[in-house]
Structure 1
Amino acid sequence: MGPCRHPRSRARDEGLPGLSETRSQLTLDNAFGFLDSHVIADQVFHPALVSNANGQTMLKTILDELKRSRNFVFSVAFIAPSAVALLKQSLLDYRGTGTIITSTYLGFNSPAAFRELLNLDGVDVFVYPDSAAGFHAKGYIFEQESSTTAIVGSSNLTASALLKNQEWNLRFSALPDGDIVQQLKCAVQAHLDASTPLTRRWIDEYALTWAPQPPPLQGSTWVESTGDALPMGLIVPNSMQVEALSEIQALRDAGESRAVVISATGTGKTILSALDVRAYAPKRMLFVVHREQILDRAIDEFKRVLSAPASDFGKFVGSKKELDRRYVFASIQSLSRPENLREIEPDAFDYVLIDEVHRAGAASYRTLIDYLEPAFLLGMTATPERTDEFNVFELFDFNVPYEIRLQKALEADMLAPFHYYGVTDYVKADGEVIDQVADLSRLVASERVDHLVSTIETYGHAGVPVKGLIFCSKNAEAAELSQILNQRDVHGQRLRTLALSGKHSVEERELAVQMLERGELDYIATVDIFNEGIDIPSVNQVVMLRQTLSSIVFTQQLGRGLRKAAGKDHLVVIDFIGNYDNNYLIPIALFGDSTLNKDSIRKKIIDAQEAGAIAGLSSVNFDAISREKIFASLATTTLDSMSNLKKAFVDLKNRLGRSPLLMDFARFDTVDPTVIATKQKNYWRFLDKVGATDAPAGAFEDAVLTFLSVELLNGKRPHELLLLDKLLLHPVGVTVEDYQTALGVSGLDNDQATLNSVLAVLSLTFFTKAEAAKYGAVPVVSLDDGAYRLSEKFAMAWGADPVFQMHVRDVVDTGLYLARHRYKWSGELEVGQRYSRKDVCRLLNWQSNQQSTIYGYKVDYFSNSCPIFVTYHKGPDVSESTKYEDEFLNPSTLTWYTRSRRTLASGEVKAIVENQLPLHVFAKKDDAEGTDFYYLGRAKSQDARQTKMSGETGPDVVSMTLGLASPIESSLYEYFAASVAAIQGPVSMG
């Protein structure tokens, strides 16, 4: 090939649409980025350093660019299958064309990685030969309609490089005629000219000579899934286990004789317990399990840790009664028989371990535990919460020395990362969704099986042999499905599957598991026999072909594939989502969100789509229809029902051994304190409702607690809480100067407008008469002679009733905690957080609560502010005269309409059009979200014009664009812009 030539004036000759607008935008963005950060710019194309810091990961940046581009080229030396999995849903959703150029440099790219690349529809893949000069490129190029964006730096296409490694990558943009664009095109063409198209035959030939790279050394140890193994075979604890062992020992040193460890499935509970046994060095130990098939694996792991002779280990199960051994492993079924228990002296074992101890409410376990008298009793479980009223924590004297749930375990790299894909179940041409509520014949209909096989080919492993579990809704479905799948091919290979149910013997199940692990089976189809108590580390795919009825069961089934294993890069989870009312349980399980707060769950879904990843290197992806099904399910459910709240209350009470305070809910990250506190107006009322208090609050105390809970507990502004905190400690009063100083020291605004607002709230003058009456009609705080003081009536109630004191203190402490941990401790509006109209009135220092008269927006000259509230999707009951066509043009710009019967000459309109005062924009998708809106930030009005509602005959209205100070996150933008059709129902797939 000759020298690369630069085509001249392509953009001008071809007349690219929007080029003039893009030129202006890009000019300002580049001036902002390269010349002067004070330049006002949209910051859509501005140059940025992407270093995987402060939430701005390489993965998030790539996903953002894919959403706005029509063509991409990745030229990267190294690619890992896990990185392909992170990008898969976005590449499937991508409507443009794509090219990936990679290499065989240093043999890093495995045949598995190449097979995953070849499995990407609509992406052309080329391989740069290793025989040429070392290929070490790391460039990502995205072509938009009228511009080009590139990311060049240090990140290869691996999960760590995209998410957590310290990387330096520069993102920049240019116009089509820019010289850098031509240079990039020449560089890409040079790579393509030297490369070979990726084909199945090429991969097969490459696999014949490729050798896996050795793992990086870590001193004299290498990391295993549950601990560090020294070369001589001694298992030493990893960092998490060191912490756990230290806490267990500290508990024993304090004289405690019982403890329960809560550890997510796959995090090595057995190894941890074996390490503690090694540290304790008991004369004799008893290990109790509920399933016989777990015993042999447990014995193997204890042998590895304890390095004891085989003669020290014995079984007590069935006909085997090796009670004379030092370490005895027994099934609860054998132990709990009276004739067997009589053969054991109560103090025969000084250390007793009980696996899956959440089952200990059963009579068999209670009989055993009541009979034995060990010096130390340790229980282990991943799910201590129960539905049968049994309190696991009480059984162990409420001692929980160590707890690691799924999210924390993933972040600590204790589990294999997973990539979850929520996909729509089979949809017939008439729009009917065939899911588990259908009869058996339709569940295993040829079309649905075709859909299953196609989805597995798309989302499942293409590069390595699959070792999967398929969870079905019924045993008959599993059996029939297995027979049908055994006649189908995936990636050109005939499937090998087997169905298992409770009717199969232990031996049959064990044989099936061994066949799966040896690679003689691809899938085992079942209903629930693998929910717990089974360990198959090599499982790399979980298919959920049934409705999620319980977040606990969902997590248990997900956990079947989370154990690390040699050669296992990641777990793929494929969840077929139908029209279920309880689809909301899926994100609750995936994110470990037990807040019972819809806003919290909805935000986690949006944030996961934005970031592209969740805890550690895992990801959660929904196709467009499934995502809207989840949101629709969430909108219609009642999470904060009294039954749900009471269960959460009982769960935490069982954990603590006492009635929890609101602060306990916050510290243990369970139910959102604001949800449980305001369900009955205040928490004292809730306790009375569930029979957990001796007497209800008095009328005044009840009113005050309602005020504190409804208005201040959320922590959106800490100012009032800080003043109350100081006054409760200094009842004689706090001077204005001291309070101002305290605010300043805390980093909070302490100007006069804010002080006036705080006093208006605490004196109740901020509220309407009806609200003030509901809150007791008596100020909580007054200002006299330059000092704030508690009102006389409040002070008397505080001094007279210790229960009232406790509840007030609890609300104040919890509110301050939320202000620090949920918000940024500023008291100012935070972009991305949600606020009601009343919240906005308070945080903008309005003189009073005017939420009922805002009507979409209001100019408030008292505070010199104008909030604008946008409901993006109008309901069918909204009249045409008020159905404003507000619409995002891009993540930085919103077309917005004033109220009807307004002109450019209207006073309030003029103030907005001329930007006479700050404009604050808030938005929500629809009214099903409740009263709160996402704060999108400050905006500037521009391009105002006089027009009419509903065509030429409607009332006068003013239209304008609102330019946001910073673009909103792309996933939030997509959330607002999602079509109404997608919300209302699925799109036909056949």
Structure 2
Amino acid sequence: MVNFIQSLEASLHKGFINEKHTKSGSYTPKLLINDVKNNDHVLTSLLEELDKCQSFIFSVAFITESGLATLKSHLLDLKRKGVKGRILTSTFLNFNQPKVFRELLKIKNVEVKLTNLHGFHSKGYVFKHNTYYSLIVGSSNLTAHALKLNYEWNVKLTSHKDGEIVQNFQHQFEEVWRSSQPLSEEWIADYEKKYLQAVDSKAASQVTGVSIPYENDPIEENQKIMPNKMQQVALQEIEAIRKSGKEKGLIISATGTGKTYLSAFDVKSFNPKRMLFIVHREQILSKAKSDFQRVLGGEDKEFGILAGSNKQGGAKYLFAMIQSVSKDDTLHQFDPEAFDYILIDEVHKAGAKSYHKVIDYFKPKFFMGMTATPERTDDFNIYELFDYNIAYEIRLQEALEEDMLCPFHYFGVTDLEYNGQSIDDTTLLSKLVTEERVNHMIEKIQYYGFSGDKVRGLIFCSRKDEAEELSCALNKRGFRTVALTSEDSQKVREEQVKQLENGVLDYILTVDIFNEGIDIPSINQVVMLRQTQSSIVFIQQLGRGLRKHISKDFVTIIDFIGNYRNNYLIPIALSGDKSQNKDNIRRHMQDTSYIKGVSTVNFEEIAKKHIFKAINNTNLTEMKRLKEAFNELKNRIGRIPYLYDFVENHSIDPMVIVNKYSNYQQFLVKIKENVPQLTEYENKVLTMCSLEILNGKRKHEILLLDALLHQEKISFDKYLYLLEESNCQVDENTLTSVQNTFNLSFFTQTYKVKYGEQPIIVLDENKYFVFNKDIAKSLNLNNHFKNMITDIVRSAAEKNKSYQCNEPLTLYKKYTRRDACKFLNWTSDESSTMYGYKTKYNTCPIFITYHKNEEVEASRAYGDEFLDREVLKWYTRSNRSLKSEEVKKIIEAKENNIDIHIFVKKDDDEGSDFYYLGKAIPDKNTVQQAVMKDKDNKELPVVHMNMIMEKSIDSKLYHYIKGIKND
């Protein structure tokens, strides 16, 4: 209680009296806005409070289905914990639709009431905690746009439970609550009648005249269709490709982003004498022809189809099936130069012989390929086919940000446990379609719901027999479903899709025949009942619902997550992060703000544990994965990639490669790439630069290496100038540390041998930095060696952009114990004897593993704990007392001019890297002698104290570290 009051007082002083107040607290009043650029949203703070509260009350005038969807999985987790809440809302301006009230009734741990107060327009969220309340009050209603996208002002305040402001809020809420109407089915039915009457009345009042139907003029119609902002940029880039003399171009565009319209706009600009559009699915053909005609205008006879019995080969704009046009007798009817513009849709299929035959035969002036998924699991290189000319690329995240796709709410939900065991890779069909699992599935899809008047859903199953049996089971329960598999004809599939679109069917169940090449814009719910086999397939299936349609505001994605080995692919697919860095993937599980627009990603807590377990159990650095990523990038750029290419193309983190293989050269040799050889010493120098410089954690070494790669020597003064110009620290200890790194004196003997033993860079008697003679010789004679070193420097400089140069350590970046020794300017690496902490050279780095493994010996299982975002309860080593010299040094750190630095990792599964959380000072009032027991139940002395953080810890990282263990 005392700590809370002190922290609250400090927070209020900083928030309301003086922003420069040195002692800040975790409860500083905060302006909450939707900062799209920095992925910070009102929703983030709201969910943080919701997830840790004991109860809550919302008073909001307006609620949308999409807004409510952002909270549903969190509210379900609270229900499991026994946490309840109340929501007060209204029918003000008839904004709230009847359906959202039905959605509210599904949430059993939330009581809802309706007020008839005239002009009810409040927007307040109050969360009860143990001794205090958090309040978010301002302009945001419970809508997805207000919580994630709109320009909103909200203030987050913290009050002691006895504070006047929270008492006023409570009093106001209770006063209106008592006189309000409880939400019920009967009330909703009555409201729906009035709502529909009001809507009809409003629509009638807006009618200003009676429109008379007339026949559309196709030329006039096409002039109204204009490219959107992203398509305008794409068209400019495609034109630039042509102006540079290139005859081929590849468009990489996420499903639903309008590839067909984009290509039609480009054809209109190109104005070919004749055009050929090639597809591999007949249902795409008619749609493409229709879209092109809308954009281009012109008479019907100018647009023809070449497929099956349709042989309109003489049309100006010809839309052909690859199966038809590739037939010898058909193909040779055309002059090779008959078409000056040829497009291939879904060009990732072009590895087939039929495509190669057509591509090799025709000689157009411009060749365009379009795909959403250029990455292939086979050996075919799409990029090579188009001479590595990527004319335009937009992936899922960018498309969401540009509002090109329908927003989605993804829910990673918990699959059913069968006899205490989760569904996993080996589960039998008999267990996949049990009555309990069907009930569980129905419960989840009804709870998470859909946007629109009725469900139009796709359910992806793990195998054909599951789809068929599950369809029967759902039909017996009143749903209207059908199972479609690869055994069904194209005609049957098209008929069932029409049934779904027309509302005759609720769901189509399938395995993977609808992963691509199917266009059902009205889909408003996608259910995934199978394990994720690849990121590509995951995005393809999610993408089935991402096309915009007048009948929906968003699409609901419900992913049933069992105990699958490949669960780690889910955060990779959703975030688009290909770094193979486990820490990144774990962070994407906790912080999902990377999703743009009003879309959200949500995981039920148990499902989240399944994914963490899969991340931990997966070897992301196995050769197979690294080689696949390498080949993918090599295919894309048409040569052996440098490390910088991985950085630039957001592929594997180069550190993942070098941490496993010591340097990139050894990886290339391992995968049998034909690269020039290096001497044993050159290899060791490359290893040193890879493991010590490539990470980009300190700019000083990067600048010196870069300078010496461009000139034979550099004076000490010139080097100082370069550092000052980059705003880097130039104190004597830092400069000595840099020299100790390059002369290898910092390292242990093991590392000295690994790095070649002799100094790499020396400061000569004339105060010039120079490479040693062997390296200088290699750089002159071995161009490959020089390129590899240059590549490291270039990559390191790019990675360094996220680090500070005027401080030894950058907040929230990750460091090893050895890094701490180096960057705190210790003369040598003492990480092997540092253990939890060590005081030296007026610094004391403290390393904490927050969630200890159960196997950790009792005498080392310290109870370190964050009490809040600026107070850490910290324990010394066992067998230490208040009289211990090392303890006294830390308690008197301020008087002894010792800087205490706090490093924390979530648990041992994160490896040897720790997050740097900044400096701290001990609160002397909290220092206590205590005891802990060892494995033999023997009592050992220990000291604990509160460490007050210099800066309040970033809330997202704080909640990640404190959250559930990574298993």
Give the SS at the match of 1:275. Answer: helix
- Take 1:929 and 1:688, find their aligned partners in 2: how far apart are those partners? 29
Confirm or deny that 1:28 pairs with 2:10.
Answer: yes
Q: Is the 8 A contact 2:459 2:528 kept in 1?
A: yes
Alignment partner, residue 740 of structure 1: 720
In the alignment, what sits opposite 2:590? 606
Match of 2:866 among 871, 875, 888: 888
TM-score (normalised: structure 2): 0.93
2:180 matched residue in structure 1: 195
Equivalence map 1:326-337=2 (5 Å): 326-337=316-327
Deviation at 1:719, TM superposition (A): 1.5
Deviations 1:122-141 (A, max 9, x none): 11222333xx5322222222
Aligned to 1:457: 446
Report how far residue 71 of structure 1 moved: 2.4
- Report the equivalent of 2:29: 47
Alignment correspondent of 1:116: 103
Residue of structure 2 equivalent to 1:37: 19
CA contact (8 A) 2:676 2:784 kept: no
The 5-angstrom pairing of residues 226-265 of structure 1 reads 234-265=224-255
Is contact 1:114-1:463 (8 Å) kept? no
Give the 3-state SS of the residue equivalent to 2:881 in structure 1: coil
Q: Which residue is equivalent to 1:224?
A: none
Could you tell me how far 1:962 is from its partner in structure 2?
Answer: 2.5
Match of 1:81 among 48, 52, 65: 65
* Secondary structure, aligned partner of 1:789: strand
Q: Indicate the residue corresponding to 2:931 in structure 1.
A: 948
Deviations, residues 488-540 of structure 1 (Å, cap 9, x unaligned): 2xxxxx32111101111112111111111122211110000000100111111
C-alpha contact 2:114 2:183 (8 A) present in aligned 1: yes
- Taking the aligned partners of 2:220 and 2:470, their CA distance within structure 1 comes to 45
Change (3 A) 1:203 1:282: farther
1:62-77 maps to which residues of 2 (within 5 A)?
62-77=46-61
**Equivalent residue letter for 1:545:** L
Give the aligned residue type for 1:438: T
1:126 and 2:87 aligned: no
Matched, 1:625 2:606: yes
1:777 aligns with 2:766: no
Identify if the C-alpha distance between structure 1 residues 677 and 126 changes in structure 2 by more than 3 Å, giving closer, same or farther: same
Which residue pairs with 2:829 in the alignment?
Answer: 849
Report the Cα distance in structure 1 between the residues aligned to 2:825 and 2:166, rounded to whole angstroms.
49
Whole-angstrom CA distance in 2 between matches of 1:176 and 1:603? 33
Report the RMSD for the aligned CA atoms in angstroms.
2.3
Contact 1:284–1:326 under 8 Å retained in 2: yes
Change in Cα spacing, 1:589 to 1:125, as seen in structure 2 (3 Å) is same
Question: What amino acid maps onto 2:106 in structure 1?
Answer: N
CA displacement, residues 71-103 of structure 1 (integer Å, 9 cap, x when unaligned): 222222222221111122222222432222223
Find the partner of 2:890 among 912, 916, 919.
912
Once structures 1 and 2 are overlaid, which stretch shifts more, 915-924 or 557-566?
A: 915-924
The answer for the alignment partner of 2:215 in structure 1 is none
CA pair 373-416 structure 1, distance change in 2 beyond 3 A: same
Q: Is the Cα contact below 8 Å between 1:317 and 1:330 reproduced in 2? A: yes
Please tell me whether the aligned partners of residues 827 and 843 of structure 1 are also in contact (alpha carbons under 8 angstroms).
no
What is aligned with 2:92? 105
Structural mapping, 1:561-576, within 5 Å: 561-576=545-560
1:426 aligns with 2:416: yes
| Contact 1:685 1:696 (C-alpha < 8 Å) held by counterparts | no
Within 1, Cα distance between the matches of 2:964 and 2:67? Answer: 30
Q: In the alignment, which residue of structure 2 is the partner of 1:638?
A: 619
Shift in CA distance, 568/827, structure 1 to aligned 2, threshold 3 Å = farther
Q: Are the structure 2 counterparts of residues 827 and 717 from structure 1 closer, same or farther at C-alpha, using a change threshold of 3 Å?
A: farther
Structure-to-structure mapping, 1:289-304, within 5 angstroms: 289-304=279-294
User: Shift of the alpha carbon at 1:601?
Assistant: 1.4
Task: Give the Cα–Cα distance (whole angstroms) in 2 for the partners of residues 698 and 307 of structure 1.
Answer: 66
Alignment correspondent of 1:437: 426
Give the corresponding residue for 2:210: none
Name the structure 2 match of 1:731.
Answer: 712
Find the aligned partners of 1:695 and 1:543 in 2 and give their Cα distance.
51
C-alpha deviation, 1:437, in angstroms: 2.6
Provide the rounded CA distance (Å) in 1 between the counterparts of 2:362 and 2:752. 61
Q: Deviations over 1:459-515 (max 9, x none)?
A: 222764221111001111101101111122xxxxx3211110111111211111111
Cα distance in structure 1, aligned partners of 2:714 and 2:720: 14
Give 1:988's aligned residue: none
Post-superposition offset of 1:733:
1.6
Alignment of 1:179-578 (within 5 A): 179-193=164-178, 195-208=180-193, 209-210=195-196, 211=199, 234-428=224-418, 430-435=419-424, 437-461=426-450, 464-488=453-477, 494-578=478-562
State whether residues 138 and 154 of structure 2, in contact with CA within 8 Å, keep that contact through their aligned partners in structure 1.
yes
Task: Give the counterpart letter for 1:30 in structure 2.
Answer: L
Residue number among 658, 662, 670 corresponding to 1:681 in the alignment: 662
Q: Does 1:594 align with 2:578?
A: yes
SS of 2:928's equivalent in the other structure is strand
Q: Give the letter aligned to residue 91 of structure 1.
A: L
From the superposition, tell whether residues 542 and 126 of structure 1 become closer, same or farther in structure 2 (CA, over 3 Å). same
CA distance in 2, matches of 1:899, 1:633: 33
Point out where structure 2 has 5 or more consecutive residues left out of the alignment: 207-218
Match of 1:728, as an amino acid? Answer: L
Change (3 A) 1:826 1:90: farther
Q: Greater shift after overlay, 120-129 or 721-730?
A: 120-129
Shift of 1:560: 0.6
Q: How high is the sequence identity, in percent, across the aligned residues?
A: 47
TM-superposition CA deviations, 1:262-312 (whole Å, max 9, x none): 111111111111111111111111111111111111112112211222222
Q: Per the alignment, in what secondary structure is the counterpart of residue 960 of structure 1?
A: strand
Q: Is the alpha carbon distance of 1:155 and 1:896 closer, same or farther for their aligned partners in structure 2, counting shifts above 3 Å?
A: same
Following the alignment from structure 1 to structure 2, what is the Cα–Cα distance between the partners of residues 234 and 436?
A: 52
* Contact 2:272 2:341 (8 Å CA) reproduced: yes
Does the CA contact (< 8 Å) of 1:29 and 1:44 recur in 2?
A: yes
Change (3 A) 1:879 1:893: same
Instruction: Give the AA of the match of 1:99.
Output: R
SS at match of 2:256: coil
Please state whether the residue corresponding to 1:599 is helix, strand or coil. helix
3-state SS of paired residue (1:498)? strand
User: How far apart are the structure 2 equivalents of 1:919 and 1:464?
Assistant: 59
Structure-1 residue corresponding to 2:877: 899
Q: In structure 2, what is the Cα distance between the partners aligned to 1:875 and 1:68?
A: 24
CA distance in 1, matches of 2:359, 2:252: 19
Per-residue Cα deviation, 1:28-48 (whole angstroms, up to 9, x for no partner): 221221112344546222211
Q: Distance in 2 between matches of 1:73 and 1:747?
A: 49
Asked if 1 retains the 8 angstrom alpha-carbon contact of 2:123 and 2:137, the reply is yes
Contact 1:870 1:924 in 2 (8 A): yes
Question: CA contact under 8 A between 1:719 and 1:827: conserved in structure 2?
Answer: no
Q: CA deviation at 1:398?
A: 0.9
Which amino acid in 1 is paired with 2:458?
Answer: L
Q: Distance in 1 between matches of 2:165 and 2:246?
A: 69
* Structure 1 residue 876 displacement after superposition: 4.2
Contact 1:421 1:622 in 2 (8 A): yes
The amino acid of 2:726's aligned partner reads: S
Match of 2:214 in 1: none
CA separation of 1:137 and 1:878: change in aligned 2, threshold 3 A: closer
Q: Say if 1:467 and 1:538, in contact at 8 Å, map to a contact too.
A: yes
Query: Do structure 1's residue 818 and structure 2's residue 799 form an aligned pair?
Result: yes
Distance 2:456 2:814 in 1: 43
Matching residue's letter, 1:909: V
The question of whether the paired residues in 1 share the 8 Å contact of 2:282 and 2:321 is answered with: yes
2:743 pairs, out of 756, 763, 769, with 763
Determine whether 1:672 maps to 2:657: no
Secondary structure of the corresponding residue to residue 267 of structure 1 = coil
Contact 2:343 2:367 in 1 (8 A): yes
